[in-house]
Amino acid sequence: MKNILHIISSPRKEVSASRKLGNAVIEKIQEKYTDSIVKERDLTTSPTPLLDAAHINTFFSPAESHSSEQQSINKYSEDLISELKEADIIVIDSPMYNFSVPATLRAYFDFTSRAGYTFKYDENGPKGLLNDKKLYIAFTSGNIYSEGPYQIYDSNVPYIKNIFSFYGVSDVSVFRAEGLAIPGIMENSLEKAIEGIAID
Protein backbone atom coordinates (compact mmCIF):
# COMPACT_ATOMS: atom_id res chain seq x y z
CA MET A 1 0.00 0.00 0.00
CA LYS A 2 1.35 3.41 -0.95
CA ASN A 3 0.24 6.87 0.09
CA ILE A 4 0.42 9.14 -2.93
CA LEU A 5 0.33 12.92 -2.68
CA HIS A 6 -0.67 14.66 -5.93
CA ILE A 7 0.29 18.34 -5.99
CA ILE A 8 -1.47 20.31 -8.74
CA SER A 9 -0.43 23.81 -9.80
CA SER A 10 -2.16 24.65 -13.10
CA PRO A 11 -5.38 26.66 -12.77
CA ARG A 12 -6.57 25.46 -16.21
CA LYS A 13 -8.54 22.51 -14.84
CA GLU A 14 -9.56 19.86 -17.40
CA VAL A 15 -7.72 21.45 -20.36
CA SER A 16 -4.46 21.60 -18.41
CA ALA A 17 -1.64 19.62 -20.01
CA SER A 18 0.28 19.23 -16.74
CA ARG A 19 -2.82 17.86 -15.01
CA LYS A 20 -3.32 15.37 -17.84
CA LEU A 21 0.31 14.27 -17.57
CA GLY A 22 0.19 14.16 -13.76
CA ASN A 23 -3.08 12.20 -13.81
CA ALA A 24 -1.51 9.69 -16.22
CA VAL A 25 1.44 9.28 -13.82
CA ILE A 26 -1.00 8.68 -10.94
CA GLU A 27 -2.89 6.08 -13.03
CA LYS A 28 0.33 4.20 -13.78
CA ILE A 29 1.34 4.26 -10.11
CA GLN A 30 -2.09 2.89 -9.19
CA GLU A 31 -1.70 0.11 -11.75
CA LYS A 32 1.51 -0.89 -10.01
CA TYR A 33 0.31 -0.36 -6.43
CA THR A 34 -3.35 -1.32 -6.72
CA ASP A 35 -4.33 -0.51 -3.15
CA SER A 36 -2.67 2.91 -3.02
CA ILE A 37 -4.42 5.97 -1.62
CA VAL A 38 -4.25 9.28 -3.49
CA LYS A 39 -4.53 12.60 -1.71
CA GLU A 40 -4.83 15.74 -3.86
CA ARG A 41 -3.34 19.08 -2.91
CA ASP A 42 -4.80 21.36 -5.56
CA LEU A 43 -2.93 24.64 -5.07
CA THR A 44 -5.31 26.44 -7.41
CA THR A 45 -8.52 25.75 -5.49
CA SER A 46 -6.96 26.30 -2.05
CA PRO A 47 -3.93 28.48 -2.77
CA THR A 48 -1.13 28.92 -0.29
CA PRO A 49 -0.92 32.64 0.56
CA LEU A 50 2.04 34.74 -0.51
CA LEU A 51 4.59 34.85 2.28
CA ASP A 52 4.23 38.02 4.38
CA ALA A 53 5.75 39.39 7.60
CA ALA A 54 3.20 37.61 9.83
CA HIS A 55 4.09 34.24 8.29
CA ILE A 56 7.84 34.80 8.54
CA ASN A 57 7.60 36.04 12.15
CA THR A 58 5.61 32.91 13.00
CA PHE A 59 8.06 30.53 11.36
CA PHE A 60 11.03 32.11 13.13
CA SER A 61 9.60 32.39 16.66
CA PRO A 62 9.08 29.73 19.34
CA ALA A 63 5.67 28.01 19.32
CA GLU A 64 5.16 28.85 23.04
CA SER A 65 5.11 32.56 22.19
CA HIS A 66 2.57 32.34 19.38
CA SER A 67 -0.60 34.44 19.33
CA SER A 68 -3.79 32.68 18.17
CA GLU A 69 -3.23 34.10 14.64
CA GLN A 70 0.30 32.69 14.63
CA GLN A 71 -0.97 29.34 15.90
CA SER A 72 -3.28 29.03 12.92
CA ILE A 73 -0.49 30.09 10.50
CA ASN A 74 1.80 27.48 12.05
CA LYS A 75 -0.89 24.79 11.92
CA TYR A 76 -1.54 25.48 8.22
CA SER A 77 2.17 25.09 7.43
CA GLU A 78 2.51 22.00 9.65
CA ASP A 79 -0.49 20.38 7.96
CA LEU A 80 1.10 20.87 4.51
CA ILE A 81 4.36 19.38 5.80
CA SER A 82 2.52 16.43 7.43
CA GLU A 83 0.96 15.63 4.03
CA LEU A 84 4.46 15.49 2.55
CA LYS A 85 5.77 13.35 5.40
CA GLU A 86 2.87 10.89 5.16
CA ALA A 87 3.39 10.37 1.42
CA ASP A 88 5.45 7.48 0.07
CA ILE A 89 5.16 8.90 -3.44
CA ILE A 90 4.77 12.55 -4.43
CA VAL A 91 3.59 13.59 -7.89
CA ILE A 92 3.95 17.27 -8.82
CA ASP A 93 2.27 18.69 -11.92
CA SER A 94 4.29 21.71 -12.95
CA PRO A 95 3.85 23.71 -16.14
CA MET A 96 6.53 26.24 -17.08
CA TYR A 97 5.10 29.69 -16.34
CA ASN A 98 7.41 32.55 -17.29
CA PHE A 99 10.55 30.47 -16.87
CA SER A 100 9.58 29.29 -13.44
CA VAL A 101 7.06 27.18 -11.56
CA PRO A 102 3.52 28.63 -11.20
CA ALA A 103 3.34 31.16 -8.35
CA THR A 104 1.02 28.79 -6.45
CA LEU A 105 3.76 26.17 -6.30
CA ARG A 106 6.40 28.72 -5.32
CA ALA A 107 4.15 29.93 -2.47
CA TYR A 108 3.61 26.31 -1.37
CA PHE A 109 7.37 25.77 -1.03
CA ASP A 110 7.57 28.89 1.16
CA PHE A 111 5.27 27.12 3.63
CA THR A 112 6.95 23.71 3.45
CA SER A 113 10.63 24.74 3.50
CA ARG A 114 11.11 25.01 7.25
CA ALA A 115 14.14 24.22 9.41
CA GLY A 116 13.32 21.49 11.89
CA TYR A 117 10.53 20.12 9.68
CA THR A 118 11.71 19.38 6.15
CA PHE A 119 15.43 20.07 6.72
CA LYS A 120 17.80 20.97 9.52
CA TYR A 121 21.29 22.34 9.90
CA ASP A 122 24.02 20.63 11.91
CA GLU A 123 27.84 20.82 12.00
CA ASN A 124 27.94 19.21 8.55
CA GLY A 125 25.59 21.73 6.98
CA PRO A 126 22.01 21.17 5.82
CA LYS A 127 20.33 17.77 6.12
CA GLY A 128 16.99 16.76 4.60
CA LEU A 129 14.35 15.34 6.91
CA LEU A 130 12.01 13.73 4.35
CA ASN A 131 13.61 10.41 3.55
CA ASP A 132 12.62 7.31 1.58
CA LYS A 133 10.21 8.97 -0.79
CA LYS A 134 9.82 8.88 -4.53
CA LEU A 135 9.12 12.09 -6.44
CA TYR A 136 7.64 12.24 -9.93
CA ILE A 137 7.57 15.57 -11.78
CA ALA A 138 5.03 16.02 -14.59
CA PHE A 139 6.44 18.98 -16.50
CA THR A 140 4.85 20.71 -19.48
CA SER A 141 6.01 23.69 -21.52
CA GLY A 142 5.39 25.60 -24.74
CA ASN A 143 9.05 25.51 -25.73
CA ILE A 144 11.70 22.77 -25.36
CA TYR A 145 14.14 22.91 -22.45
CA SER A 146 15.48 19.37 -22.06
CA GLU A 147 17.79 19.85 -25.05
CA GLY A 148 18.74 22.42 -27.67
CA PRO A 149 19.33 26.17 -27.52
CA TYR A 150 16.87 26.83 -24.68
CA GLN A 151 18.32 24.23 -22.31
CA ILE A 152 19.93 27.08 -20.39
CA TYR A 153 16.38 28.22 -19.49
CA ASP A 154 15.55 24.86 -17.92
CA SER A 155 14.84 26.37 -14.53
CA ASN A 156 11.59 24.67 -13.51
CA VAL A 157 12.53 21.00 -13.16
CA PRO A 158 16.00 21.67 -11.63
CA TYR A 159 14.37 24.02 -9.09
CA ILE A 160 11.86 21.40 -7.93
CA LYS A 161 14.61 18.78 -7.81
CA ASN A 162 16.81 21.11 -5.72
CA ILE A 163 14.03 21.84 -3.25
CA PHE A 164 13.32 18.12 -2.76
CA SER A 165 17.00 17.22 -2.63
CA PHE A 166 17.30 19.77 0.19
CA TYR A 167 14.36 18.00 1.89
CA GLY A 168 16.25 14.69 1.54
CA VAL A 169 14.37 13.30 -1.46
CA SER A 170 16.72 12.40 -4.28
CA ASP A 171 14.82 9.56 -5.98
CA VAL A 172 13.20 11.61 -8.74
CA SER A 173 11.74 10.75 -12.15
CA VAL A 174 10.75 13.45 -14.60
CA PHE A 175 8.21 13.18 -17.42
CA ARG A 176 8.15 16.05 -19.87
CA ALA A 177 5.61 17.12 -22.46
CA GLU A 178 7.52 19.93 -24.15
CA GLY A 179 7.07 21.96 -27.32
CA LEU A 180 3.34 22.36 -26.71
CA ALA A 181 3.44 25.68 -28.61
CA ILE A 182 5.58 24.45 -31.51
CA PRO A 183 3.68 23.31 -34.63
CA GLY A 184 4.82 19.86 -35.69
CA ILE A 185 5.67 18.92 -32.10
CA MET A 186 2.64 20.16 -30.17
CA GLU A 187 0.30 17.68 -31.83
CA ASN A 188 1.93 14.58 -30.28
CA SER A 189 4.05 15.83 -27.38
CA LEU A 190 1.61 15.10 -24.55
CA GLU A 191 0.59 11.75 -26.00
CA LYS A 192 4.26 10.71 -26.35
CA ALA A 193 5.05 11.83 -22.81
CA ILE A 194 2.10 9.81 -21.46
CA GLU A 195 3.20 6.76 -23.47
CA GLY A 196 6.70 7.10 -22.03
CA ILE A 197 5.64 7.00 -18.38
CA ALA A 198 7.48 4.23 -16.56
CA ILE A 199 7.01 3.63 -12.85
CA ASP A 200 10.03 2.18 -11.06
Ligand X SMILES: Cc1cc2nc3c(=O)[nH]c(=O)nc-3n(C[C@H](O)[C@H](O)[C@H](O)COP(=O)(O)O)c2cc1C
Give the interface with ligand X as residue ranges (CB under 6 A): 10, 12, 16-19, 95-99, 140-143, 180
The least CB distance from residue 108 to ligand X, in Å, is 16
Torsions phi, psi for 76 (to 5 deg): -60, -50
**Between vectors from CA 145 to CA 130 and to CA 9, what angle results, nearest 5°?**
50
Please say which residue, 33 or 150, places its beta carbon nearer to ligand X. 150
Nearer to ligand X, 37 or 174 (CB): 174
Report in angstroms how near the CB of residue 143 gets to ligand X at its nearest: 3
Give the nearer residue to ligand X in terms of CB position, either 95 or 109: 95
Q: Least distance from C-beta 187 to ligand X, angstroms?
A: 14
Residue 19 or 41 having the CB closest to ligand X = 19
**CA pair distance 177, 156, nearest whole angstrom:** 13
Least distance (Å) between residue 165 CB and ligand X: 23
What is the arrangement of strands in the sheet containing 37-42, beginning at the earlier edge strand? 37-42, 3-8, 89-95, 134-140, 171-177
Comparing CB distances to ligand X, the nearer of 171 and 196 is 196
Q: How far is the CB of 75 from ligand X (least distance, A)?
A: 30
Question: What H or E segment, with its residue span, contains residue 187?
Answer: none
- The DSSP secondary structure of 107-137, one letter per residue, reads HHHHHH--BTTTEEEETTEEEE---S-EEEE
Q: Which residue of the chain is nearest ligand X when measured via CB?
A: 95
Cβ atoms of 3 and 29 closer than 8 Å? no
Classify burial at 65, counting beta carbons within 10 Å of its beta carbon; exposed 0-12, middle 13-18, buried 19 or more: exposed
